Structure 1
Amino acid sequence: MCGAQFIVTLDLAVVNVALPSIRADLGLADADLQWVVITYGLLLGGLLVLGGRLGDAFGRRRMLSLGLALFAVSSLTAGLSGSFALLVASRAAQGVGAALAAPAALAVVVATFREGAARHRAIGVFGAAAGSAASVGVVVSGALTAGPGWPWIFFVNVPIVAVMVGLIAKYVPADRKIHRGRIDLAGAVTVTAGLTALVYAINRSVDHGWTSPTTLGFLSAGCALLVAFTAIEYRSPAPLVPLSMFRHPTLNAANLVAALVFAAFFATTFQASLLMQQALGYSALRTGLAYLAIAVPAVVAAAVLAPLLLIRLGAGWALTLAQGIAAGGLLWLARIPAHAQFWPDLFPAFLSVGLGIGLSQAALQVAAFIGIPEEASGLAGGMVETAREIGGAVGIAIVAAVAIAGGRGVSTGPAEALTAGFRHGSLIAAGFSLLAAGTAITVVRRAGRS
């Protein structure tokens, strides 16, 4: 189950280092490149709660195997893609498969271990697998892209998932209790389509401006779909997300903080990969190795520092400290010169970002459940995970739009333009982290203290 969660989370980040190679091979424009990352996150986040409900209705082992099989097949078609359309369609199918598999994997862990210390340890290991995957993904991406080529960041999933499906059939017991009930498919479709329309509007604003009919049309469609989602949830006898869940201010704050934390993190890894390879001349392998400055501190912070801080300070202060550290690193990146050097310019910032994301991962898991009754804990965890994935996708769209616009006014050279855009994007990402820290200290800290 940890392997399933790891590989699902890994594919959020594994494409980042490969983006310049994908762009060169498929002839993509700057504004199109982000969709290789965003599409997966939007589908995964938008359908995650629906995937959990389908697991309850049709069997968790069945949904786990089906989701992983779809993930493997779409990974194969992504690696074989010769066009932008096929690659994005494959990433969408990967997201759907991941949304079926991820909640089922957690449900199997919960069902396997009795409530108490054993289950807490198991969920802790499960969470650590997910927490380390995003950081490890960029390193793996660099090694595979520099070696056999970027299609192998997708091909490698196929044999791994095949082994997983075989192990699931052998070791995971069949579902004894299947809870048949209504499935809120309309809610899942409207919220996913609405968010996609909003992100597409942000993407189109780069070329057409915010007042163009194209941008305004997609903005209006996205808002209308999200209003429809709210109406559907209000009237549905079995809503995807009961609106009563939004009466918990701490859960609302945890959702907002999760969205902001991963908006800053995924946007930073997205644009840093382009900066290092297109402006600084790094190879894919060197870019992947550079990301060890984020990955190693993130793992150490999550495994060693976070438990100590959570015991001494609580979730609110831990999140505030973590995002303050991350914001400091992002503000450092917002001042780097053209032709920046790794050790004086990138390393201190990467170290801060790694510490911030590692501490935030564990603190968010605690913050999400403050004041939540046990019977609603599964839904609360799913909502925070959804906020994380969607926040990452929206964050990439916003930061990429700002970076592209910020680099267009620079005429001294492509490296200088890319660096200028990167600095603008880093300022926006720092703003996300500072807003997350402010929310944590004002809402989460107060709730944790009470």
Structure 2
Amino acid sequence: MKKAVTAVSADDRTAPMHVHRSPHVAVITLCAVQFVDVLGTTIVISAAPAMLADLGASASAVSLVVPVYAVFFGALLMLGARLGDRFGHRRVLQSGLLLFAAASLAAAAAPGLAVLVTGRCALGAAAALSVPTALRLLSAVTEEEDARRGALAAWSASGAAAGASGLLLGGVLTDAVGWRSLFWINLPLAAALLVAVRRHVPTTAPRRAGPLDVPGGLLLAVAVAALVLGASMLERPDRALAGGAVLMVAVLCAGWFTSVERRAADPLVPAAAIGDRALTTGAAASLANTAATSSAVTVATVWLQDAQGRSPTVAGLTLLPFSVLVVLGASRAKAVMRRHTPRTTAGVGLAVVAVGNGLLLGAPTWPWLVPVAVGVSGLGLGLSSVAATTEGTAVPEPLQGTAAGMLNTAAQLGTAVGVAAVLLLVTATEDTDVPLAGPPLGWVASTAIALTAAWWLLRRGKAWGRD
């Protein structure tokens, strides 16, 4: 494992002499950044009805308030990673946290729907600046391979747990304090993270390069945003045609982006990144992880509330084992990877996810199976997500920033596309006589995603021992 290269930048030279660099505190801080930013993807789902009612907005506006965060988050991740390469990852991370605080303030005090949606857009952009730069800095503060794998385990666990915990925390805070508390609470969090980053996280040397690839960045942002938005529109049959048109825009922009990248002096996604087998395998595994688990848990959430009549808070508590077991699976990943390759470990983790998703098929008959099933899925996700991140970040130093952006973008796309495709299957078959129609068909699809990805990863690695 190559040691991460760090350098002292201007902001370090002017820092107070009493500043201490603690690798352990740095890892905790960077994982906290990941947790807070990923939490924003799901925390408003349970609170959305209360938000819209309080602001006098139509209930249909939920299709705008909820997905805009993921649209901006996913669309700007690669640009955030390259800005870190250009200007220094710690500086960009601090800028992201400042934007996070400002956007939270706007959303918390929103007098109407327009300001709330604008605040959610800015929060997604702030997450896109913060998450890839935090992952890059995580590699910089953990130079030894064993320490780095432990840090990646904590990183993966915090992200996976945040996505699932948002469903519970959103409902609990809204019921207890009100929906605006979801944003007010971000202000002290942002302040604490800014202080911790300043005191304990070192900077990386900005990479000298050619002109920033602005055309490529814009095209990729539009392509990813259109893909996320189009996928979310497909979740509702009445918007399927418009969603298909938006997806066509995504395809056209992706093709145009490829053409622009070939001519760019310093492309947003270097050719070396596309040709790096470890990075592309890690990105594919990251996409499969979120596609398989987010879709299954989302269908379970909807089923618990619609078919079982449980409140958002009770439904969130039912799914809590997912978050708990993610942490356990991630904590065991480092030990498993001492015996097996990350690629094989990711495949095994996804096979465990498939088992958990498959157990959900028994939920209509035995509802008590839901917490057991999602717990098994969470265990597999913890194992696989650590392995996927380890595999994807095993790249040369110049590609570290790009790797962070690609891995996070893949995870966001997996969530968006996986949830949209599976929910489309569920809604299209709920009132039909198709065998295993409705939620069971969704869980079959989630299981198939996990099994296919597990088979592919295990074929690319050796089932036993090291490559």
TM-score by length of structure 1 reads 0.83
Query: For residues 326 and 83 of structure 1, do their structure 2 counterparts lie closer, same or farther at Cα, with a shift above 3 Å needed?
Result: farther
Structure-to-structure mapping, 1:14-413, within 5 angstroms = 14-19=43-48, 21=50, 26-29=57-60, 33=62, 36-81=65-110, 86-111=115-140, 125-169=154-198, 179=208, 181-205=210-234, 206-208=236-238, 212=241, 214-304=242-332, 306-337=333-364, 342-343=367-368, 345-369=369-393, 372-409=395-432
Cα pair 2:336 2:345 within 8 Å, conserved: yes
Name the amino acid aligned to 2:237. Answer: D
Q: Report how many aligned residue pairs link the two structures.
A: 433
Name the amino acid aligned to 1:373. Answer: P
- Partner residue of 2:3? none
Name the amino acid aligned to 1:356. Answer: G
1:99 deviates by: 1.2
Please give the alpha-carbon distance, in whole angstroms, between the structure 2 residues aligned to 1:66 and 1:393: 26
Cα deviation 1:210-246 (Å, max 9, x = unaligned): 6x5x455323322111101111111111111113322
Name the amino acid aligned to 2:426. Answer: A
Cα pair 1:5 1:126 within 8 Å, conserved: yes
Please give the alpha-carbon distance, in whole angstroms, between the structure 2 residues aligned to 1:44 and 1:448: 37
Cα pair 1:13 1:266 within 8 Å, conserved: no
Name the amino acid aligned to 2:266. Answer: A
**Percent of aligned pairs with the same amino acid:** 30
Q: For structure 1, which segment, 78-87 or 158-167, has the greater mean C-alpha deviation from structure 2 after superposition?
A: 78-87
SS state at 2:302 partner:
helix
Residue 439 (str. 1) matches residue 439 (str. 2):
no
Cα pair 1:250 1:443 within 8 Å, conserved: no
Please give the alpha-carbon distance, in whole angstroms, between the structure 2 residues aligned to 1:152 and 1:310: 41
TM-score by length of structure 2 reads 0.81
Gaps of 5+ in 2: 1-28
Query: For residues 444 and 149 of structure 1, do their structure 2 counterparts lie closer, same or farther at Cα, with a shift above 3 Å needed?
Result: farther
Provide the aligned C-alpha RMSD in A: 3.3
Cα pair 1:56 1:180 within 8 Å, conserved: no
More helix by share: 1
Structure-to-structure mapping, 1:4-19, within 5 angstroms = 4-19=33-48
Name the amino acid aligned to 2:447. Answer: A
1:23 deviates by: 6.6
Cα pair 2:33 2:131 within 8 Å, conserved: yes
Residue 427 (str. 1) matches residue 444 (str. 2):
yes
1:176 deviates by: 7.0
Cα deviation 1:99-147 (Å, max 9, x = unaligned): 1122333444455565666666555544554454334433433421331
Cα pair 1:191 1:225 within 8 Å, conserved: yes
1:437 deviates by: 0.9
Cα pair 1:322 1:360 within 8 Å, conserved: yes
Cα pair 1:60 1:108 within 8 Å, conserved: yes
1:392 deviates by: 1.2
1:449 deviates by: 4.8
SS state at 1:312 partner:
coil
1:326 deviates by: 1.3
Cα pair 2:290 2:411 within 8 Å, conserved: yes
Please give the alpha-carbon distance, in whole angstroms, between the structure 2 residues aligned to 1:89 and 1:448: 50
Query: For residues 434 and 110 of structure 1, do their structure 2 counterparts lie closer, same or farther at Cα, with a shift above 3 Å needed?
Result: closer
Query: For residues 172 and 377 of structure 1, do their structure 2 counterparts lie closer, same or farther at Cα, with a shift above 3 Å needed?
Result: closer
